[in-house]
Amino acid sequence: MSVNITKLKNGLTVVTDSMPHLESAALGVWIKSGSRNETQDQHGIAHLLEHMAFKGTKNRTALQIAEEIENVGGELNAATSIETTAYYARVLKPEVGHAADILYDILANSTFDENELTREKHVILQEIGASLDSPDDLVFDNFQSAAFTGSQPIGRPILGTPDTVEGFSTNQIREYLDAHYHGPNMVLSAAGAVDHDALVKQAEGTYSNFANTITQDASPATYTGGEAILEDDFQEAQVVLGFEGRAYHVKDFYASQLLATILGGGMSSRLFQEVREKHGLCYSISSFHWGFSDSGVFGIHAATGPEDLQELISLILKELQRSSEDIIQEELDRARAQIRSGLLMSMESPAARAGQIARQILLFGRPIPNDELMERLDALSVERVRDLAGRIFHESTPTLAAIGPVKDIPRLSDIKQSLGIKQSLAAE
């Protein structure tokens, strides 16, 4: 790896991965702050701030921001997730410094104009409306809420609700920014046709202005499990069935990633073979493991017609049961090969690289070399993965989210019974 890291005096990390054969670069600022860092009365403000950052600064109007980057063929975008927020650009080599300057400007000097806020709230209402019209997105929002009940910020939809979004003032946006966009909490990451020393020099003149303040951690998350069943007039039933997963730092994190790949990580995975190939019940079925800093969720997503819903759930449960008993070495080896190629291929994409390194620095304090990741995966045995499956699928209250023609879906209590989970582990 050709990764270079410099920490500025204010705690902000500048990291580059130079890929000298490229003509373009990806760069961005990643902030360790997302929807779960909001307080109860800030629901949706992390995402609203991410939108408002493009609405004009002391130095540039919103139109100037857009034109400056697009005049040179670049692209600017941003994304808010549960634990991080990212602002990033794709540009050709000569424009890296220019893009870094624009990114700094929108994060440090935004003016948050009142009229812009009024219009942008309306834009976000349309974004919320579109997410409500997408059952395959909405089922994941509902899944997350049911996995982390009790109005925990980690369980709330990132976009907020029409009511919360409507209520925010420019002062509240500024307060959220001032409380979270701190040097030690931020990484300026660039990959591709980039020069580390030049970027550091530039960042010392500007990015060093972010406050050198330690940010308060989000309140701890408590996985509860639970049920979110929404009958609606769609063709397909969207289903996400899940369990408590593992935090990034936990020993079982890597085994959980392997287990997700073995169960639903490709065409040869157990769920794809059993549910789609042998029974033809779904167009797509997959499993996932999402780690957070202090918790995680493990889930299976599938969609099917109402007549096949019972059989779908029953086949999934059978596969979960089996996985603690008969995962074999060949499957483990295949999952490792899939993860290894995924890592190598993402090394070849500047956008994937810049994001991966930035998130590793925010979450682990340093970039994790691929070799180290692979060593951790190689150290895991079949017994260890089977054992983990036994614990994940049998020791926590499941989470069941479903949308569509789901009148006849088995309920959480049936699923618990089928998996032999004690009914007293209820959280509904």
Among positions 327-356, residues that touch a copy of itself (CB under 8 A) are 330, 333-334, 337-342, 344-345, 347-350
Instruction: Kindly identify the residues of this chain, within the stretch 357-416, that bind a copy of itself according to CB under 8 A.
Output: 404
Per CB under 8 A, 197 contacts a copy of itself: no
Angle (CA) 176 182 184, round 5°: 145
Show which residues are catalytic: 50
The binder of a copy of itself chosen from 234, 248, 322, 390 (CB under 8 A): 234
Cβ–Cβ under 8 Å, residues 273 and 403: no
Cα separation, 270 vs 268, in Å, equals 7
Q: Does 124 bind a copy of itself (CB under 8 A)?
A: yes
Closer residue to a copy of itself (CB): 12 or 275:
275
Which 57-96 residues touch a copy of itself, going by CB under 8 A?
62-63, 65-67, 69-76, 90-92
Chosen residue from 36, 43, 270, 276 binding a copy of itself by CB under 8 A: 276
Among 3-11, 211-219, 271-279, 412-420, the segment contacting a copy of itself (CB under 8 A): 271-279
CB 404 within 8 A of CB 238: yes
Q: Report if residue 322 touches a copy of itself, rule: CB under 8 A.
A: no
Please give the angle made by the CA atoms of 155, 156 and 158, to the nearest 5 degrees. Answer: 120
Nearer to a copy of itself, 99 or 218 (CB): 99
**Which of 9, 267, 329, 365 is in the footprint of a copy of itself by CB under 8 A?**
267
Q: For residue 127, state whether it binds a copy of itself (rule: CB under 8 A).
A: yes
Smallest gap from Cβ 318 to a copy of itself, in A, equals 18
Residue 75 or residue 197: which is nearer to a copy of itself going by CB?
75
Q: Is the distance from CB of 299 to CB of 372 less than 8 angstroms? A: no
Stretch that binds a copy of itself, among 5-13, 112-120, 407-415, 419-427 (CB under 8 A): 112-120
Give the chain's count of helices (H) and strands (E): 16, 11
Q: Least separation, in Å, of the C-beta of 76 and a copy of itself?
A: 7
Does 21 participate in binding a copy of itself (rule CB under 8 A)? yes
Least Å distance between CB 133 and a copy of itself?
5
Does 303 sit near a copy of itself (CB under 8 A)? Answer: yes
How far is Cα of residue 385 from the mean position of the Cα atoms in its chain? 24
> Residue 217 is inside which H or E element, if any?
none
Hey, what amino acid is at 299? G
Contact 184, 215 (CB under 8 A): yes
In single-letter form, the type of residue at position 164 comes to T
**Minimum CB distance to a copy of itself, residue 366 (Å):** 23
Q: Binding residue for a copy of itself (CB under 8 A) from 2, 39, 40, 118?
A: 118
Q: Which of 413, 401, 232, 409 is nearest to 313 (CA)?
A: 409
Closer by beta carbon to a copy of itself, 70 or else 197: 70
DSSP SS3 for 385: helix
Which residues lie below 8 Å from residue 135, measured CB to CB, with a gap of 6+? 232, 234, 236, 238, 403, 404
Tell me whether strands 24-31 and 3-7 are parallel, antiparallel or unpaired: unpaired
Q: Map the footprint of a copy of itself across residues 131-150, applying CB under 8 A.
A: 132-136
Judged by CB under 8 A, the residue of 277, 311, 371, 428 near a copy of itself is 277
Q: Which of 256, 248, 8, 48 is nearest to 163 (CA)?
A: 48
CA distance 90 to 76: 7
Between CA 70 and CA 44 the distance in angstroms is 28
Nearer to a copy of itself, 214 or 344 (CB): 344
Give whichever of 118 and 381 is closer to a copy of itself, judged by the CB atom: 118
Token output for 126: 């349309």
CB of 316 vs a copy of itself, minimal distance in Å: 15
